Each structure stands twice: as structure tokens, then as C-alpha cells.
């Protein structure tokens, strides 16, 4: 009878977690610090000059402000965030978009680039043609333009890097695992590209050059088997990191891809392999720091 032993993996993971000083996991009631010089942020409470965690999540420190970001939470948008969403309804002069937040987001007809890059006022003819541009089920990338008083988000796709998404693979991870960076669009050296939405939606697609960016055009050419294998491996790599609470950005994904090459695509779905890949990635990130 075959027996799986993973003690070595567990020991290495514990070592990495113990060493991670600025960002570490806490449970409700855990002591974060006994230093009274820190300010209390979201997800924390103080008692007898001791700062405790009120939710389970990752401790984050910005100067003297300490907060805890929950590992599983709904997306709370901020202006300028990059999001990936799905059209759920076509309304008058706007689309409703599901973005993993508490309320559906709004993409107004006036906030999109019309085909051909035309800049003009939207008329009745444009309103009647809305379903030709985007319809229910379509995936888009967009940027948060504004936040309404009820907490819902206003989106725009005026930049050429935003717009309708074509062929690829959509993943949903916790928004707290997406590291905020200057850019969330990455063309990876493995041969695929990825959009890390701040809302926790990750879009993986084949790299097809610069002619496919933005707008409403879709490249529906047949994706080669080699490209599909790259996308499948990259999908499993992202799952490895998210299942082991590792922050997602271009560097961590590239490190995890390199660590995954000793496994087949199917093997990356096993819990032991997922822990091993995440552990090796965390070790390399620790070495960089």
C-alpha cells in the first residue's frame, strides 16, 4: 500500500511563516503588538494598551498604522483599481457588471471607447447598439472611476488596455491576495499574459501581440495546444499560491512557475505539490528581501 509522507514540506512551510515579520497571519484575539506607539486600523481593537486582531487575516503595517486584511472578504473598491468583471445586464445607457463586490458595478455608455476610437457624444443610435458592443456574459477589464454613495463602483474602459476580453481562463481568488502594484497587466516570460484584478478576478490568456489590446474586438482564432498547456499550468500555479495564502504579483507567479516545472500540470492539483510549490516560492521571496 502506498503511503504519502509530507513532513519535510510542513517543516519548511513553518519556517517560512515564522520568518515572515511584516506580513503574517493572525486569528481573532491574537496579540499583534504590546507597543502603545502604534495606531489602530481596520480589523484590530485595543485593550489595556495591547493591540489585538478582531478578524482572521494578514497583518499590514504602514508607518505606525496597523491593520488586518481578512483572507476571505468581499472586494472594497478604490478609485484607480484595475478590475475584471462580467456583464450581467444591459440597461439604459449603462451596463451592470459583476465585480466580486457587495453591489454590482456600473459601466456607463459614456465611459467606453466606441469602436474605431471615436470621441463624440452618445446618441440614441449608440444606445440601441449597446448589446452589439457588450452583452450578458461578456468579460471585460476596466478601471474604477468613481465610488457612489451606496458603495457601488463606477467603471470606465477609455484606455486602450481595457475593454472586452477574448479567449482565456478566469480564476477567482481572495481580493486580499492581490498585491497592489503600478501595473496589473503582465506579459510573462512563460508565453502567456495575465491580468491581476484588484477585485480577485484573475484573467489568463495567450500572448498575441499588441494588436489585440482594448476595445470590443475579440481574437477568436484557435488556440494552439502548446498555448493551452501553458495557460493550464499557469492557472494551477495561481491556485497553488492562493491556496497557501501567498500574495499574487508578477514576481511571485514567475517564481512559482519555475518551481512547478518539476511537476506535471495534473500533479499541481494535489495538496502536497501545491504546498511544495508555494513553499519554494515563499523561500525565494524571503531571499529577495
Grid coordinates representing 51?
Answer: 493591540
Grid coordinates representing 79?
Answer: 478609485
Give residue 57's pLDDT. Answer: 84
* Reported pTM: 0.78
Query: Cβ neighbours of residue 24 under 8 Å, at least 6 residues apart?
Result: 17, 58, 59
Each residue of 24-63: pLDDT tens digit?
778 899 999 888 888 888 889 988 889 999 988 888 888 8
Q: Is the pLDDT of residue 286 over 80?
A: yes
Question: 19: part of which helix (H) or strand (E)?
Answer: helix 7-19
Give 149's pLDDT tier (boundaries 50, 70, 90): very high
* Terminal CA-CA length for the chain: 43
Grid coordinates representing 135?
Answer: 452583452
**Domains recognised in the chain with CATH numbers:** 21-70 (2.40.50.100)
Amino acid at each position: 500500500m502506498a503511503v504519502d509522507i509530507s513532513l519535510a514540506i510542513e517543516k519548511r512551510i513553518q519556517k517560512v511563516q515564522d520568518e515572515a515579520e511584516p506580513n503574517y497571519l493572525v486569528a481573532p484575539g491574537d496579540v499583534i503588538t504590546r507597543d502603545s506607539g502604534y495606531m489602530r486600523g481596520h480589523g484590530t481593537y485595543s485593550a489595556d494598551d495591547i493591540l489585538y486582531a478582531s478578524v482572521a487575516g494578514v497583518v499590514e503595517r504602514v508607518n505606525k498604522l496597523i491593520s488586518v486584511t481578512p483572507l476571505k472578504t468581499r472586494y472594497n473598491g478604490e478609485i484607480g483599481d484595475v478590475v475584471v468583471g462580467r456583464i450581467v445586464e444591459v440597461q439604459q445607457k449603462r451596463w451592470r457588471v459583476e465585480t466580486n463586490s457587495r453591489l454590482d458595478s456600473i459601466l456607463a455608455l459614456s465611459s467606453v471607447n466606441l469602436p474605431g476610437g471615436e470621441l463624440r457624444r452618445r446618441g440614441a443610435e449608440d444606445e440601441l447598439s449597446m448589446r452589439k458592443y457588450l452583452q450578458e456574459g461578456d468579460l471585460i477589464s476596466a478601471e474604477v472611476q468613481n465610488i457612489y454613495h451606496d458603495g457601488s463602483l463606477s467603471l470606465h474602459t477609455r484606455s486602450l488596455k481595457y475593454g472586452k476580453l477574448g479567449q482565456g481562463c478566469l480564476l477567482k481568488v481572495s481580493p486580499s491576495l492581490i498585491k497592489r502594484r503600478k501595473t496589473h497587466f503582465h506579459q510573462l516570460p512563460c508565453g502567456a499574459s495575465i491580468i491581476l484584478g484588484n477585485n480577485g478576478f484573475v484573467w489568463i490568456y495567450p500572448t498575441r501581440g499588441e494588436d489585440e489590446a482594448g476595445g470590443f474586438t475579440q481574437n477568436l482564432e484557435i488556440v494552439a495546444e502548446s498555448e493551452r498547456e501553458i495557460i493550464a499550468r499557469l492557472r494551477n500555479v495561481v491556485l497553488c499560491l492562493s491556496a497557501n495564502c501567498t500574495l499574487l504579483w508578477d514576481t511571485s507567479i514567475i517564481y512559482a512557475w519555475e518551481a512547478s516545472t518539476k511537476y506535471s500540470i495534473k500533479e499541481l492539483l494535489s495538496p502536497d505539490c501545491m504546498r511544495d510549490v508555494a513553499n519554494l516560492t515563499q523561500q525565494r521571496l524571503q531571499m529577495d528581501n
